[in-house]
Amino acid sequence: MSLMEQILALHSVDVQVRALRGRLDSAKHYLKTQETHMRDLQAQRDEVELQRKHTQAQIANLEMEANGVGVQIQKMRDELNNSGNTKQYSAILTGLKSLELQKDNFEQQALAQMEKVEQLVARIAQFDVKLGERTTLHDKATTELHDRTKETSERLGELDRERALAASHVPAPSMTIFDEVANMHDGEAVSTVMTVDARSREYACTACNVEIPYQLYSRLLGDGTSLIQCLSCKRILYLEMAELEAASKRKPAAKSV
Ligand SMILES: [Zn+2]
């Protein structure tokens, strides 16, 4: 096998490994996204729940205060009924009015806080609906990842072994180039070269359409001991059989010119 044939053999298994791993990675990524959404929602819900608890505690305090004042009011009313003279009566009455205002104030504040609690409870309910929807999506994503892992793990193991075998035939420097370019182009490490115009020796990389100089093209027709890369996209270049045949037919004619 020539170096390029080894590279093409490696490439054909490499793209399969990448495709399969890509499917697994996208399922993992989807699950992670769902987990992040759920965590965010839960954190927001916890925050609102904390506010609800604080507000509930404030209501309890306000009600306690109002009850305390209520007891004082009751006491004063008794005193009022038993008051001996007009002066004492009017003093108690003034105190009583002030206390009633205080009690009313506490009750109003408690009422306002109760409305706030109602709003917070409604928001918590909204979060629960959203969390329910997210849980469904999260469960689906978990199943999807589990199924994909199950269906691909065996095949992926085989392909990894095939890839390692194909890679073992490729010399280290060429392997480095292959890995670099494959990573650069999501596995599209190789590209064919097409003849744009044989007479004027115009050739192009079929992946990026950039012109391939004739010097490079003629090296592709050579012994194939080193890899030739596109000057623009860096993909490893090769000639398809039809192109090779066409080129070999053109060669003698080119020499005679
Ligand atoms: Zn190119």
CATH: 2.40.100.10, 3.40.50.1100, 1.10.287.1490, 3.30.590.20. Which one for 3-168? 1.10.287.1490
Ligand 1 centroid – CA 236 distance (Å) = 8
Residue 32 has a pLDDT of 97
Distance 169 CA to ligand 1 centre (A): 25
Q: Which amino acid is at 62?
A: L
How far is ligand 1, taken at its centre, from the CA of residue 245, in Å?
22
- What separation in Å is there between the alpha carbon of 158 and the centre of ligand 1? 31
Low-confidence ranges of the chain (pLDDT < 70): 251-257
Find the helix or strand (DSSP H, E) in which 203 lies: strand 202-205
Domain ranges of the chain: 3-168, 175-256
What pLDDT shows up at residue 247? 83
Buried/exposed 190-223: b ≥16 CB within 10 Å, e otherwise: bbbbebeeeeebebbbebeeeebeeebbeebeee
C-alpha pair distances (Å), 216 with each of 70, 222, 229: 99, 10, 9
Please, are residues 8 and 236 in contact by the beta-carbon 8 Å criterion?
no
Q: Considering the chain, what is the average pLDDT of its residues?
A: 93
**Which residue's structure tokens are 């007891």?**
71
pLDDT of res. 251: 65
Q: How remote is the CA of residue 83 from the centroid of ligand 1, in Å?
A: 106
Q: Output the CA 17–ligand 1 centroid distance in Å.
A: 23
**Ligand 1 mean position to 175 CA, how many Å?**
19
pLDDT for 253 equals 47
